[in-house]
């Protein structure tokens, strides 16, 4: 399976809309920048039928060094971005 890059997406959208690839790349980048800025400021982003992005706080925890299992390592808390798929996306990938 091959990864979809921003350029691949831009080419596909440009072909379907008649816009230039440069215009599409600019719109994609502005969209991604807006999502990142909103998440950075603590906002939740919801795209109906697609999904929801939000930021969660991970608590600090104790881990183990795999090379020295007797040695405990403190893994600090941090913020992580979580994505929860919307109903339409969930239904697409539902196993019957």
Domain borders along the chain are: 6-88
Query: Tell me: the pLDDT tens digits for 52-81?
Result: 999 999 999 999 988 888 889 999 999 999
14 pLDDT higher than 90: yes
In the predicted structure, residue 93 carries a pLDDT above the cut 90: no
CATH class of the domain defined by 6-88: few secondary structures
Rounded to 5°, angle at Cα 52 from 50 and 53: 130
Q: Could you tell me where the DSSP H helices lie in the chain?
A: 6-17, 21-40, 87-92
Residue 80 has what pLDDT? Answer: 96
User: Is residue 1 pLDDT above 80, yes or no?
Assistant: no
pLDDT of residue 69: 85
CA atoms within 13 A on the CB side of 75: 9
């Amino acid at each position: 399976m091959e990864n979809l890059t921003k350029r691949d997406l831009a080419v596909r959208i440009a072909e379907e809309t008649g816009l230039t690839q440069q215009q599409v790349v600019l719109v994609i980048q502005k969209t991604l920048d807006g999502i990142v800025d909103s998440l950075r400021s603590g906002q939740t982003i919801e795209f109906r039928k697609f999904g929801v992005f939000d930021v969660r706080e991970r608590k600090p925890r104790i881990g183990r060094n795999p090379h020295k299992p007797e040695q405990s390592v403190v893994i600090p808390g941090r913020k992580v971005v979580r994505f929860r798929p919307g109903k339409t996306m969930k239904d697409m990938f539902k196993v019957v």
